[in-house]
Amino acid sequence: MNYIVQAKELSCFYGMVLGLNNVSFNIGPGITGLVGPNGAGKSTLIKLMTGQIKPSSGELLVFGQKPWNNPQILSQIGYCPEHEYVHKEMLPLDWLRSLAMLSGIPFGKAQSISREVLKTVKLSEQHWKKKIGSYSKGMRQRVKLAQAILHEPELIILDEPMNGLDPMGRQEIGNILKDLKNSGIHVIISSHILHELESLCNDFVMLNWGRALASGRQSKIRKEIKNWSEQIAIRTNQPQQLAQHLINLDTLKGYLVEGEELIIWLKQPETFYQKWPEYLADCDAEVYDVQNKSQTLTSLFERIAQ
């Protein structure tokens, strides 16, 4: 597998303050999520990947090279920062044109590319004549994303791009990122809101307190966890009876009844899913809803963080 980013025993300290502590992981192609709560080290890692700071120790490679003071690598990266700060007095086209030229795009071409990317991020033309300082948060996020894709980078790194966006805005940004992925661009995206990334990312790097807890596909991370048991919530008219039925079939590690909801921990999930219709047919209980609670990224992160 070709790795886009490789970290080996990577640490970064701001004086006495811990940013990252001895983390090792690899990031492959596609969309990868950096997840973890505030202060986990996501932004530090992003600053390292975009060559804004140097590691205190260890090694970080992007496309096989160290990013600090490396124009070759920076020319392949598009970066969208977490903060909202932009050159407020500028019109979006002027701002993008200057950044395009800074990325080596000729003056004549910079204007047309700037227009194209504003269309790509779906910023409607009626807003192009307004100063960026007057934009709403969602509109600024779009312009920030536009500047990251101006120079057609191979890798886009986004720090909390969904922050402050309404659900529709989040979905639209998510769709744009999926389109970028489909056009062959790799994306690394950070968020402390885990469910945002669930439908978007194929791989994850989970960080907490400056440490990498796990990395890779969700399924792979689950397999690596000892004593992992899947948890399912079933809404039924007879939770106690259904629980007893499943216990008798020796399928459960344990269960919990909360009103109409039965929460069960499975012994062998694959067998359970295969035989679930049979189990139901043998029982009189009516089932209204079934939810796999442990398939969520949040539950996985909570489990690993323990």
Partner 1 sequence: MTTTLTESTAEQRPIAGLKQAILGIGYLRIKEMLSSKSLLAVFGVSMLLILITFITVASGNAGQFQIWMFHLFALRFVPLMCLERAGGSLRNEIKDYTIEYLWTRSPKKSHLVIAEYISSVIVTSFRVFIFTTLIHATGWYLETPDILPMFGKILIIELFAILAYSALAMLIGLLTGKYMILGVIYGLIVEVGISQVPLNLNKISVSHHLATIMGGPSSLAYTHPGASPIMGALGCIVIAAIGLSVACILFSNKQYRTGNDKEG
Would you list the DSSP string of 224-274?
Answer: HSTT---EEEEEES-HHHHHHHHHHTT-EEEEEEETTEEEEEES-HHHHHH
Residue 99 as a binder of partner 1 (CB under 8 A): the answer is yes
Query: Which is closer to partner 1, CB of 74 or CB of 264?
Result: 74
Task: Tell me the closest approach of the beta carbon of residue 16 to partner 1, in angstroms.
Answer: 11
Residue 151 as a binder of partner 1 (CB under 8 A): the answer is yes
Residue 64 as a binder of partner 1 (CB under 8 A): the answer is yes
Please tell me the count of residues contacting partner 1 according to CB under 8 A.
47
Strand order through the sheet with 287-292:
252-258, 261-266, 231-236, 287-292
Contacts (Cβ under 8 Å, ≥6 apart) of 9: 22, 23, 24, 57, 58, 59
Nearest residue to 32 via CA among 209, 221, 279, 251: 221
Nearest residue to 231 via CA among 213, 247, 249, 254: 254
Task: Tell me the closest approach of the beta carbon of residue 202 to partner 1, in angstroms.
Answer: 18
Residue 52 as a binder of partner 1 (CB under 8 A): the answer is yes
H or E, element range at 92: helix 92-102
Task: Tell me the closest approach of the beta carbon of residue 14 to partner 1, in angstroms.
Answer: 6
Residue 172 as a binder of partner 1 (CB under 8 A): the answer is no
Give the amino acid at 198.
Answer: E
Residue 3 as a binder of partner 1 (CB under 8 A): the answer is yes
Query: Which is closer to partner 1, CB of 82 or CB of 172?
Result: 82
Distance CA 293, CA 278 (A): 22
Which residue of 23, 32, 35, 95 would you call a contact of partner 1, by CB under 8 A? 95
3-class secondary structure per residue, 249-263: CCCEEEEEEECCEEE
Which of 146-154, 209-217, 275-283, 295-303 is the region at the interface with partner 1 (rule: CB under 8 A)? 146-154
Which residue of 24, 37, 59, 75 would you call a contact of partner 1, by CB under 8 A? 75
Residues that bind partner 1 (CB under 8 A): 1-4, 6, 14-15, 26, 50-54, 61, 63-65, 69, 71-72, 74-77, 79, 81, 83, 85-87, 89-91, 94-95, 97-104, 107, 147, 151, 154
